[in-house]
Structures are given as C-alpha cells and as structure tokens.
Structure 1
C-alpha cells in the first residue's frame, strides 16, 4: 500500500511538473511543401530555436503538405487571431496590401542576395505595418527564398511565341496571372497539390515552378522540358496573426523575429545548395533542362508592372538596390 501511495505521489509530481513547464503560447506552422523540401530545414530550425530561446514558453508544431488547409485558409485563421503561421509569397498578401504583390513580379531582382536586401529594408518594414493595420497579419520574417521559377512543358520553348495557346498552371494571385500571360501562355489557376494529376490527365499543358518544388511533387514524371527562364525569384514569408503576436511579451516577440530571420537564411542557403542536385536527378529521370536567352521573356513580361500599377513600386525597389 505504501508503495502504491508512493507511486501515485510520484506520478502526481510528474504531472504537476509537466503542467508547470507547459508552453504559455502555441504556434502551428503550415506549409504547402513536403518535409523533403529544403525549406523544411528552416522550419525545423525555427521550431527548435523558438522553443529553446523562449525557455519553453512557446511551443511550435510544423504541418507540411497543407495539412492545415490551403495557404489562404491558414491566412484567414491568422486574421481571426489563431496561433498559426504559414509560409506564403507576396501575391497572397497583395489583396490586403498592394505593395506585397511586387515581390512576385517578373525579373524584379537577380537572386537571393538582392531579394534579401529588399525584404529586410525599411521599405519592407513600412509594408509590414500597413499589413498589420489592414488585415491583422504579422510578418515574422520574409527572407525564405525558394528558388527561381522555371517553365515546365511538354515541348521545347525558346520564345514567348512558343507558349501561345498553352494552358499553364498558376496560383490565383493577379501578379502570377499577369506574369504567365506575359510569358505568352494562358494562365490556369489551380492548387499546387492538383498539378501532377492535371498534367497527367492533360487538363493543363504546362506549369512553372522552382526546382525543389518540381522535384518534391515529382512533376519530372509528367513533363518533358524544364526551360530556365528564371522569371520569378520566389521569396516567401512566415506570416502569422497580429493578435497572437501582440500577446507575446516583448522579449518573446524578439525571439520569434530573430529565429524566423535566422531560419529563413538557413532555408534559403539549403535551397540554393540543393538546386544543382535536383536538376541532376531530374535529368537522370529523362527531363531535358534547357538554358535559353531570357531577354525575350524579360521584354514580354515588362508590361506586368504597368498593368498592375507597380511601376512606382519597382522604382522604390530599385532605389533600395541602388540601381
């Protein structure tokens, strides 16, 4: 009997200790990407860094492959104050604050170094403040580079004219739709998870994506050519809830910001380092990866800035880059 009482007391102490160390704040992080994507290394680092440096006061759970719903669904949950964050591109935020859309515009920057300079500038801080006021979203960091977007087709492509009549999958944001039109194709909005089957069943003729995502979704099985237009340097951000973030003490807000920035750099470096290997693997699967002269595509997509009213925004970005 004494032993039973002692065991019961020990169990109670363990439960009390666990309760005492339970997190004060919980954050569920969503991504449409798979666990094999280099971005996930960054998300794992973010989780580990936040939990460690918050002294266990913040618990982070990761949900790959859109397990919490579409990116738009998670953004809506964040608006309501839920403890969620999602890795999204600027086009998804443009309906709330127009300026974010320019981050997904064609040939805005050259590679990660330039893009990182833009998304860590005072210009970006101003956009972040507008977003907080307009939609109740909070940017944790926006330096998550997923690579340059390339064309995925069934036939060779050298100029925009080669894409005439080609139905190309795109996200639904205006900047993506206009960019695909500028490339010469017919934009077809569609969730990323449906692209493989749509290509397989010929519901669409083409897609465009960065190498890690192309490999992760095994699109090399259903296309023949990857043409390296590099039309969009895909930068994304970890976006959560203003309501949730504002409940954090100032020291924990700093932890979340700092860890998100560090993890974004880790994820971006992992992405850059992985691209050559992904291309090698896809070539081995029979896909032809082709370098071309991108000047015709730079010229044909330049209209996107005027169509969407981004001309002045591009000038502001160029000022940050001292162009």
Structure 2
C-alpha cells in the first residue's frame, strides 16, 4: 500500500512539473500574424525578428510566423491579444485608433515624407505617450512601430489624374476612420474589406479599385486584375508589431528587453528592404502589363487637407509637425 501511495505521489509530481514546463514553453512562444505574403520585404524583417530573438534568448523565446492572415483578420488577432493570447500582429495605426484615438493621426494623408520622418515620430515622447495609453487601456503592447511598408497608391481600372476621376469609384480600404475619410476626400467611395479578398473582388467587379503600397500590390498580384497604379502617395504606411500586454509582462525583464530591441532592429531591416524593393516590383508589374502612372499630387493634397479637422486631429497634427521640425 505504501509503495502504491508513493508511486501515485511521484506520478502526480511528474504531472505538475510537466504542466509547469508546458506553461513556461507556451509563455515564451509568440505567434505573429501578418496579411502580407512571404515574398514581401516586410516578411523578411519578421524572419530577422524570429532569428534574432532565438539567438539572443538561446531559444527561450520562440517566434512563429503566419503570413497571409493565417491566424485571421488583424482585428480578430488584436482581440485575441487583448484576451492574453500569445499572439502578435503587424498592424496599421488606424486599427489601433479604436483604442487610442491619437494613434490614428499616423494614418493621416500626407503626414510626413518617407521612412526617416515617420520613424522620427515613433521614437518621440509624443508617441511614447500613445503607446503607454494603449498598454493601459487596451492591454496591447507595442514592440516596435518602425515597419515601413511604403507610400500607398491607387490601383484602378482607368487612369486617374485628379479627385474628380474617382467619383463613383468603389475603392477598397481598411475600415479605420482615418482611412475611410481620406479615401472619401479623394473622391472615391470607401469600401472596407479584408486584404485577401481584394483580388477576387476586383476580378468579379465587386469593387472598382483599391489602394495600397506597391510591394503589397505586387505580392497580391493585383496587376493581373487592375490596369493602373497611380503614384498618389496619399498615406505613408508605417505599421507596428503589437502583442498582448499580458503575454509580454509574463516574460522576465531581460527577455522583454531583448524582444523589444530585436523588434526595433527587425523593423529597420524590413523598412530598408521595402525601399529597395519598390523600383524592382514596379518594373515587374510594368512588364506584366500594368501602367505605373506618375501624376501631380497637389489636387489630392488639397482635397484631403481637411481630414485632420474632420476627425478632430487638427491640434495633434500641429504637435506632429513640431516633432518633425525638431521644435
């Protein structure tokens, strides 16, 4: 009887140890979702993040990557993160503005020029305050927000030179208010839908147009179902790697530091890769028959200037301008 009791106690002990080990392994595993494909330069940055974290943590933190929205839409993954799941998503500021409105200004039209200016904003005290608010109010932790995906341009069936050319055009865009208002101000009818749905929607004429950065247009092969890419550059798409505050806080401080540092370094890798890839993908889309059109964007700048006031970002835009000017 004594031997049986001892054996049972030993078995329970093993189960407890095993359960504890499994819990720790799960705590240190992060599943990263992105709507982009493996061919996108941003994905190469995610691979650098995965490999850098594995190396510096001696494998204690495992990063697993899920391209093409394999874990679901960005909004769904954000909700999983808020619930404490060990997930992260590469997400635009418009979607985060649902939780912290000020973050939405980063998706405003013609806010800044190029990656360096956008990165400067996200390394400022102004941005740090927004990130802190997101952590406290929504349970979402920004690991880094320097993942530059390029300027967003128009993808249409007909040539576009001015806002009037977009009248009545149903244009896919993310559903965040700043995106919707920008597309509306440009003259089109904003039509929210998931990125993976855009190709068949254009093919079946469920929408007339889309807007996106060139590398994403190429990765999704939209050049097969649309004739024109017009270089409006209306929104600079800087995205962030966002995870669960609960998951992040479960890491020891030394691992937290490593994850944050590697996320920032990988964002730079991804962003410079994007800059290098744009001319290459443009050439390939031209070869496939798509017209890449350069236009005077002044009419679009003028048409969208009021978006900041419409959304209540007028004063905040002045603060961002001050950060960029170094004041």
Give the secondary structure class of the aligned counterpart of 2:318.
helix
Structure 1 outlier segments of 4+, above 2 Å:
19-24
Residue pairs, 1:278-317, within 5 angstroms: 278-317=281-320
8 A Cα contact 2:120 2:324, kept in partner? yes
Out of 249, 255, 259, the position equivalent to 1:256 is 259
Give the secondary structure class of the aligned counterpart of 1:237.
strand
Q: Distance in 2 between matches of 1:144 and 1:301?
A: 24
Out of 190, 214, 217, the position equivalent to 2:217 is 214
> Are residues 1:196 and 2:170 paired?
no
Instruction: After superposition, give the CA deviation of every residue in 1:191-243 in whole Å (9 maximum; x if it has no partner).
Output: 11111111111111111011110001100011111110000010000000111
RMSD value, Cα: 1.5
5+ unaligned residues in a row in structure 2: which ranges? 1-17
Q: TM-score, normalised by structure 1?
A: 0.92
Residue pairs, 1:22-171, within 5 angstroms: 25-171=28-174
Q: Distance in 2 between matches of 1:188 and 1:111?
A: 26
Query: 1:238 is matched with which residue?
Result: 241
Q: Distance in 2 between matches of 1:224 and 1:22?
A: 49
8 A Cα contact 1:23 1:56, kept in partner? no
Q: Distance in 2 between matches of 1:91 and 1:285?
A: 32
Q: Distance in 2 between matches of 1:175 and 1:22?
A: 39
Give the secondary structure class of the aligned counterpart of 2:199.
helix
> How big is the shift at 1:22?
5.9
Q: Distance in 1 between matches of 2:25 and 2:179?
A: 43
Q: Distance in 2 between matches of 1:22 and 1:247?
A: 12
> How big is the shift at 1:279?
0.2
Instruction: After superposition, give the CA deviation of every residue in 1:125-146 in whole Å (9 maximum; x if it has no partner).
Output: 1000000111000000000000
Give the secondary structure class of the aligned counterpart of 1:149.
strand
> How big is the shift at 1:24?
5.8
Q: TM-score, normalised by structure 2?
A: 0.91
> How big is the shift at 1:165?
0.7
> How big is the shift at 1:23?
7.5
Aligned length in residues: 306
Instruction: After superposition, give the CA deviation of every residue in 1:84-122 in whole Å (9 maximum; x if it has no partner).
Output: 100000001001000110111100001101000001111
Q: Distance in 2 between matches of 1:151 and 1:24?
A: 41
> How big is the shift at 1:313?
1.2
> Are residues 1:224 and 2:247 paired?
no
Q: Distance in 1 between matches of 2:190 and 2:211?
A: 11
Give the secondary structure class of the aligned counterpart of 2:325.
coil
Instruction: After superposition, give the CA deviation of every residue in 1:10-37 in whole Å (9 maximum; x if it has no partner).
Output: xxxxxx9xx8996761100000100000
Q: Distance in 2 between matches of 1:23 and 1:174?
A: 36
Query: 1:11 is matched with which residue?
Result: none
5+ unaligned residues in a row in structure 1: which ranges? 1-15
Q: Distance in 1 between matches of 2:25 and 2:197?
A: 39
